[in-house]
Amino acid sequence: MFPAIAIDGPAASGKSTVARIVAEKLGYTFINTGAMYRAMTWYVLSRGISPADTQAVIALLPEAPLEFGKKGAVSIVLYNGRELTDELTGTEVNSNVSAIAAIPEVRELLVNRQREYNTREAVVMEGRDIGTVVFPSTPFKYFVTASEEVRQARRAAQGQQDSIAERDRKDSSRAASPLTQAPDARLIDTSDLTIDQVVAMIVDDIRTKTALL
């Protein structure tokens, strides 16, 4: 059984950057599950389907030409063999990804794909339901967050104008796998911490727990 490191948290908490660096330091594969939901959102929009039309979205799932692979030690999403990059961060995708991620059938499909990575290798996986749904039994769970003001500023610095408060509301109130801290996850508030400090906290904790297993 390969180790699975679960790093959850709200938008702009720093979890993706932290997870990627933690994976590098441990020699594990970094899985960005947000990119998977964004890719599905982009595909739905590219087909002219409204994310609010749940049945139409579900009907697209069996034929979606999306592949979930790797480039080096980082997960990527391919569309008809082409890697998706800038397509995943557009304004329209930002505005609609929460609606797509709230559809249970979408989550079931992508959670299965996420778990497949761990059948082959050790992973550091970031998202919103990794510790609660994807890998509920892993002893390595971290919930990375920051104040709303800090996260909104980070979002603006990235050139994104979506509302952090609205993203939080949608992600936390959806019926399917809502954003929530697992009871046994370690809470890390990054508001006043550097990325290196957060990474060091998590890596040290993982190594301590590994030695005790």
Report pLDDT digits (tens) over 116-137. Answer: 999 999 999 999 999 999 999 9
Structure tokens at 138: 């892993």
pLDDT in tens, 88-97: 999 999 999 9
- Average pLDDT value over all residues in the chain: 95
Q: 144, 190 in Cβ contact below 8 A?
A: yes
Task: Report the candidate in 173, 128, 140 with the shortest Cα–Cα distance to residue 11.
Answer: 128
Token look-up 């749940």 returns 54
Query: How far apart, in Å, do the first and last CA atoms of the chain sit?
Result: 13
pLDDT at 165: 82
Measured in whole angstroms, the distance separating CA 17 from the mean position of its chain's CA atoms is 11
- Its pTM stands at 0.91
Q: What is the DSSP string of 193-212?
A: --HHHHHHHHHHHHHHHHHH
Tell me the chain's radius of gyration from C-alpha atoms: 16
**Where does 33-95 show beta strands of DSSP type E?**
66-71, 74-79, 82-83
Q: 4-205 maps to which CATH number?
A: 3.40.50.300
Residues 6+ apart with CB under 8 A from 193: none
Please list the helix, strand and coil fractions of the chain in percent, rounded to the nearest 5, in that order: 50, 15, 30
pLDDT in tens, 192-212: 999 999 999 999 999 999 998
Domain ranges of the chain: 4-205
Structure tokens at 16: 């993706």
Q: Is the per-residue pLDDT at 50 higher than 80?
A: yes
Question: What is the average per-residue pLDDT within 159-177?
Answer: 84
